[in-house]
Structure 1
Amino acid sequence: MAERQTSLLEDDESLAAQRAWEKALGLLVHKLTTVSYTSFVAPSQPIRLRDRRFELAVGHSFAREWIERRCAATIRAALETVLGHAVEVVYTIKPSADRNPTEPEPERTADAPQPERPTARSRRKAEQDERDLEDLHTRMCLPINEKLTFDTFIVDQSNRLAYTAAEQVASEPGRHFNPLFVYGPSGLGKTHLLHSIARRLHEINNGLRIALIDGETFTHYYVRSLREKSFDLFRRYFRSVDVWLVDDIQSIAGKEHTKEEFFHTFNALHQTRRQIVVTSDTTPRELRTMDNRLRTRFEQGLIADVSPPAVETRVAILLRICQTEGWAIPEDVLYFIAEAIQSNVRALEGALTRLAVHSSVLGEPVSIDLARSVLTHFYIDKRPVTAKPRLEIDTVIEAVAEAFATTAEAIRSHRRDTPTTRARQIAVYLARELCGDSCRAIGEAFGGRDHTTIQRAAQKIESSLTRDSELRNMVLSLRSRLSR
């Protein structure tokens, strides 16, 4: 009798697993790459569902390795969507004889595609497919800034909710605050929080595919995928990510086709409980040119704001930068800077860096007088001023070319020798700092380079300025010349 009850219980567990798996396949067919789905996931066999533990048998060790590395998060999310609760997925390998010849085939729904046994050719295609996705990831996603961590983020009442929510998201992606929408004026730490989330997630699970992009980059690569007939790769990439971090969503607000694709991508990820974090300079309701259906989806998660910090917090931010960089700046000077710059943390950091560099180059001790003379352009000047003529990107390129004894054509070219590459990076950095053009416009002026390449070139120079005195002197000299 006991044996019969055990048998009935196992049958129930097997049937529950089979039904859940069939429904999950209906979601997974749209979320995974064709090769991953048909060659490795669809042929898998559900064994049992017991105590929120789902056992899934795969065909061989290669399939288990492939699924665990590339599909595990998506499969778990699909099963949790179907079951309505958290679940642990355990992968086992089928015996060589998958099924007793007299045992009937398990029923499948009409919508579930028939499995396809993996072959050497399909494995090679799957590996190439994954390489294509990784290549697109490298080109499109922003590099994680190692300095922007939760530990270096200064918390006060102006940003506590956003910070706490970001930490929670990084600890348990997809389970809380999905989506998380952070808004506030530029320069107050929204991008810092996105990089902090990405870094923490990499530390917890280096196998996660994390897409850290901004709205402008999404638009650029969407349009490019249509032009180059690679839209299928573009769409498959975004359906494969585990966490999607989007900065400055307001930049897609007026672009109809981009908004449409963003909406479908958002839905695909959200339905399978993959974490989405979005930042904007305004609330969802104030994104007037954004579709109502997108605004309502942003509002269904947690909306957190960041606002200008108090003067004590601004001083704490400056002290943290001094500790990180090893700068000895008197406290009265730090208060002077914090009182002068009240609304933008990015400007606060830039002012301190500029002061420290000037002190080092000129050999003068840091004082309020030096700060006042060096940081004049950071303050609101109430006197009428004559507007300077706009600095053109071509002027920057020509000035850098002259300094490096090369030509503007060489800087715009695709030459990769060290002197030309360094000259190009410096020119990109100065163009971003002085011209006020978008990264896309700068990229066009530098021989048609894309937005991400421009960002990386500028970041490389920016990160080297405090360590390389020769580079710092060169950049300061060029900047002074171009600012006249």
Structure 2
Amino acid sequence: MARKSADSIWSSVCQQTLRKEINPLTFNTWFTNAKPYLSSERTFGLAVPNEIAMEYIGQHREQIEFALRDATRIHYDLEIAVRPDGSIPSKEELERQYDATFNGNGSFQIGRLNPDYSFSTFIVGSSNSFAHAASVAVASMESPGNYNPLFLYGGSGLGKTHLMHAIGNQVRRDFPNKRVVYVQSEQFVNEFITCIQKNDFEAFRNHYRLADMLLIDDIQFIESKERMQVEFFYTFNALYESGKNIILTCDKPPQSLAALTDRLRTRFISGLTIDIQPPDYETRIAILKNLCRSHGVDIEPDVIEYIASNITSNVREIEGAFKTISALQT
């Protein structure tokens, strides 16, 4: 019955709203293969075949949640699950997922930092030099209050996550006694939903409020979630007043987070807010040459110049073009 209800809701949302508002190519490529399910009374799930689909659909999270609210009058939180076999999570899997949020000690698992994201692998250019310098300063832990919170914002694929992971990796290496907690905003929200379902918030609060450094990626996902904002407000205050570092990434500046409460917005603005712009031509060339060196691939200079001249929006697309050319050469 829940499966039928999820199908009915998703069909209505797609036909009445999403198909009209989202670019047809994007909708047909990523949305038509998503399979809906109800994860809980307040969580609407979409099962997608791969992480690329999850990323593209995730970019429309707020739009989907508003459409769900209009169609059902229920404030659903969107959950996206990667299911390569085309299935949807069973009731037993969802129950295990909620239980797995906690480890054996009743506390939350610490998110995994990508070891490949370091300051040495980050290509610095005019569009990101200030963000890089500030991130290096934060990672040094010399004056933790100077850049607190550090708020990095910009479009997708410009290096915000790379710098965040580089900060976390360096602090964990240079200050092993410091407790660094990294989490993606989606995971943060899902953990909070689990706490609501269990009516147990102690482990959640201890996990985040006892950190020496808290890194939250894509903080914009809490924008339309009122209870989550209240919880994060108190977490932010607990860390800030204790002199702990807070690093946030977002796809827009704090002033543009219209659905964010004023008290959170002013706290985000109170630290160092840095805009990361798309890389210039010279930086794009440097990124491609660095990719060639690190992967042991030789690409003709004119091909590198062609890619750098035609792909200008973000680093991720440049990396995708490089991988395509590399695959064609093997």
**Paired position in structure 1 for 2:319:** 349
**Paired position in structure 1 for 2:115:** 146
Take 1:131 and 1:179, find their aligned partners in 2: how far apart are those partners? 32
Take 2:116 and 2:324, find their aligned partners in 1: how far apart are those partners? 18
Percent identical among aligned pairs is: 39
Take 2:145 and 2:109, find their aligned partners in 1: how far apart are those partners? 24
CA shift digits 1:81-121 (9 cap, x unpaired): xxxxxxxxxxxxxxxxxxxxxxxxxxxxxxxxxxxxxxxxx
Task: Give the number of the structure whose residues are more often helix, by fraction.
Answer: 1
Q: Which one of 245, 264, 279 corresponds to residue 234 of structure 2?
A: 264
Is the aligned partner of 1:165 residue 2:165?
no
Give the number of the structure with larger relative contact order, counting CA–CA contacts within 8 Å between residues 6 or more apart. Answer: 2
TM-score (norm 2): 0.67
Take 1:284 and 1:183, find their aligned partners in 2: how far apart are those partners? 9
CA shift digits 1:114-165 (9 cap, x unpaired): xxxxxxxxxxxxxxx99626x5224xx2x11111110111111111111111
**Paired position in structure 2 for 1:137:** 109
The 1:212–1:184 alpha-carbon spacing in structure 2 relative to 1, beyond 3 Å, is: same
Is the aligned partner of 1:325 residue 2:295?
yes
| Structure 2 counterpart SS, 1:151 | coil
Q: Which one of 301, 310, 313 corresponds to residue 280 of structure 2?
A: 310
Q: Which one of 233, 244, 257 corresponds to residue 287 of structure 1?
A: 257
Residue pair 2:239, 2:245 contacting (<8 A) in 1 also: yes
TM alignment of 1:160-199, pairs within 5 A? 160-172=129-141, 174-199=144-169
| Structure 2 counterpart SS, 1:343 | coil
Take 1:314 and 1:200, find their aligned partners in 2: how far apart are those partners? 25
Q: Which structure 2 residue ranges, 5 or more long, are not aligned?
A: 1-101
Task: Give the number of the structure whose residues are more often strand, by fraction.
Answer: 2
| Structure 2 counterpart SS, 1:137 | coil
The offset of 1:199, in angstroms, is 0.7
| Structure 2 counterpart SS, 1:132 | coil
The offset of 1:339, in angstroms, is 1.1
The offset of 1:331, in angstroms, is 1.4
**Paired position in structure 1 for 2:217:** 247
**Paired position in structure 1 for 2:91:** none
Q: Which structure 1 residue ranges, 5 or more long, are not aligned?
A: 1-128, 361-484
**Paired amino acid for 1:325:** H
**Paired amino acid for 1:132:** N
| Structure 1 counterpart SS, 2:108 | helix
Residue pair 1:137, 1:211 contacting (<8 A) in 2 also: no
Take 2:178 and 2:104, find their aligned partners in 1: how far apart are those partners? 15
Take 1:130 and 1:177, find their aligned partners in 2: how far apart are those partners? 33
Take 2:131 and 2:260, find their aligned partners in 1: how far apart are those partners? 23
CA shift digits 1:149-187 (9 cap, x unpaired): 101111111111111110000001623200011111111
Is the aligned partner of 1:235 residue 2:205?
yes
Residue pair 1:168, 1:176 contacting (<8 A) in 2 also: no
| Structure 2 counterpart SS, 1:327 | coil
Number of residue pairs matched by the alignment: 228
Take 2:209 and 2:280, find their aligned partners in 1: how far apart are those partners? 41
**Paired amino acid for 2:264:** L
TM alignment of 1:51-450, pairs within 5 A? 132=105, 136-138=108-110, 141=111, 143-172=112-141, 174-360=144-330
Larger Rg: 1
The 1:171–1:352 alpha-carbon spacing in structure 2 relative to 1, beyond 3 Å, is: same
TM-score (norm 1): 0.46
CA shift digits 1:432-478 (9 cap, x unpaired): xxxxxxxxxxxxxxxxxxxxxxxxxxxxxxxxxxxxxxxxxxxxxxx
Residue pair 1:170, 1:201 contacting (<8 A) in 2 also: yes
Take 1:131 and 1:264, find their aligned partners in 2: how far apart are those partners? 26
Instruction: Say what the alpha-carbon RMSD is for the aligned residues.
Output: 1.6
CA shift digits 1:324-350 (9 cap, x unpaired): 111111111111111111011011111
Residue pair 2:103, 2:109 contacting (<8 A) in 1 also: no
Take 1:260 and 1:339, find their aligned partners in 2: how far apart are those partners? 45
CA shift digits 1:398-417 (9 cap, x unpaired): xxxxxxxxxxxxxxxxxxxx
Moved over 6 A (4+): none
